[in-house]
Structure 1
Amino acid sequence: MKKLKEIIKAAFYPNTCPICNAVIGAGEKICGKCVPKIHIIKEPRCEKCGKALLKANKLYCGDCMKNRHVFDKGVSIFEYKGDIKESLYRFKYDNLRCYGDFYGSMGYKMYGRLLKGWNVKKIIPVPMYNKKESVRGYNQATELAKNLSRYTLIPTESHVIIRIKNTRPQKGLDNLRRQQNLSGAFAVDTSKINKGENVLLVDDIYTTGSTMDACASVLKVAGVGKVYFLCVATGVDN
């Protein structure tokens, strides 16, 4: 019965490459011709936010040198450009939630050992405003969290942070306006956390850290230990 269901699912919902969107085998994560198109973030990277650094003699990116973040540390998987940029757009707006498996598997492959070293006890997706999520039908951060959880075996709790204010899109805002935009946007359901535990925030894109800082701030006030993050993609330090 299980095999029949898998055959039916494969027929109506074929596995697709997260880069070119071509149909690929059931066990594949990405097609062979697209592997060279993705840019994985390697060392050197910022010690604080994980952004790719152009100079090996630097410890922090320009943003983290200028701004004091609330989160403890974070990492991203890919550089936010080219094919990954298009992939994330489809993941976010075209209902291609299946891409979450590729992102989750890559997050585990690159940072599974690091998450264990960070002693992460819970994966928490950055929430969307309820009405916005109802219109879209899903939260891409939740899809990423669920897939990362499958590979790392770290439990996901999707409703720890609640978005209580519908904010403007962050794109196009400078750092100060991003912070102002997110002021008072989040609350925490304290019944879903344990005091002192380390948690991992997940989202699709890391830009300036304003969203991560806003979430980390309410989590720390609520009593969690350290707040780390993992995102699919981020930019390169200027």
Structure 2
Amino acid sequence: MRLIDVVLPRRCGVCGRVGASLCDRCEPLLLPCGPPCCERCGAPGPWPVRRCAECSGRRLAFASARAAVVYESHARRFVASWKERGRRDLAVVAAGIVTATLARPAVDVLVFVPGDHDRQLRRGHAPAASLARELSVLWEIPVAVLLRRRPGVERQRDLPRSERRANAARAFAPCGSSPARVCLVDDVYTTGSTATACATALRKVGARRVEVACFARAVR
């Protein structure tokens, strides 16, 4: 046992129970995000469809999006511990759940959604980047830094759904040429606006196909 585990014992990211980062009681409570699901955006549903009501009629820059779990109460507590309480150990747990649930993407690189600089300093880590690095090890796919976040753009979570698409569209810019096949990694898929904005930026610098992989997905 490490000294740090004695001084600061590890707790479950969902219930706070001392022991594992995700305890045996809470792990089964994380709801798998399909299948069946929408072939394009990954929204779970009663049967598989090519385009669901949520993404039909929208111009999505990514080829497909998939998430491991539904972003409901237990997943929300896990993500809150991970993102807001500096629980870096939960990135390892999240990556394990993702790789156990989603098929390994046939891509050249993993690219993470860049986080806000001030929030990253406050948290001490960037969840999407941490998840991408852990997935890189498990999937044996390299990580590339191909996106940057423009300063002065409002946080997506502070905006109503109707304003998120326009806000995300101006939030990201490419910072290097992209290989043809890319998997974009993020912690939570909410409306798809961030994924589309990042995929659009990647396509401008060479990406031909962008897939999206997330730990959790909000479901209407």
What is the TM-score of this pair, normalised by structure 1? 0.83
Q: Which amino acid aligns with 1:229?
A: V
Q: Which residue of 2 is the match for residue 3 of structure 1?
A: none
Q: Which moved more, 1:225-234 or 1:170-179?
A: 170-179
Question: How far apart are 1:183 and its partner, in Å?
Answer: 3.0
Identify the match of residue 34 of structure 2 among 42, 45, 68: 42
The answer as to whether partners of 2:39 and 2:48 remain within 8 angstroms in 1 is no
Classify the secondary structure of the residue corresponding to 2:65. strand
Aligned with 2:185 (options 193, 196, 202): 202
Contact 1:144 1:202 in 2 (8 A): yes
Change (3 A) 1:218 1:38: same
**Structure 1: which amino acid aligns with 2:25?**
K
Structure-2 separation of matches of 1:154 and 1:195: 13
Cα deviation 1:175-213 (Å, max 9, x = unaligned): 5521221233222221xx4542x1111111111111011
Q: 1:128 — aligned with what?
A: 115
Give the structure 1 partner of residue 23 of structure 2.
Answer: 31
AA of the residue aligned to 2:132: A
In structure 2, give the amino acid aligned to 1:231: C
Q: Which of 137, 152, 157 is the matching residue for 2:124?
A: 137
CA distance in 1, matches of 2:179, 2:126: 26
Could you tell me which residue of structure 1 aligns to residue 198 of structure 2? 215
In 2, Cα distance between the equivalents of 1:122 and 1:213? 18
- Structure with greater proportional helix content: 1
Question: For the aligned residues, what is the CA RMSD?
Answer: 2.1
Counterpart-to-counterpart distance in 1, 2:110 and 2:12? 25
Cα offset, 1:9, TM superposition: 4.3
Matches within 5 A, 1:89-168: 89-111=80-102, 113-115=103-105, 119-157=106-144, 159-168=145-154
1:62 to 2:48 alignment = no
Percent identity among equivalent residues?
A: 27
Following the alignment from structure 2 to structure 1, what is the Cα–Cα distance between the partners of residues 39 and 217?
A: 14
Letter in 2 for 1:72: A
Give 1:51's match in structure 2, choosing from 39, 43, 48: 43
When normalised by structure 2's length, the TM-score is 0.89
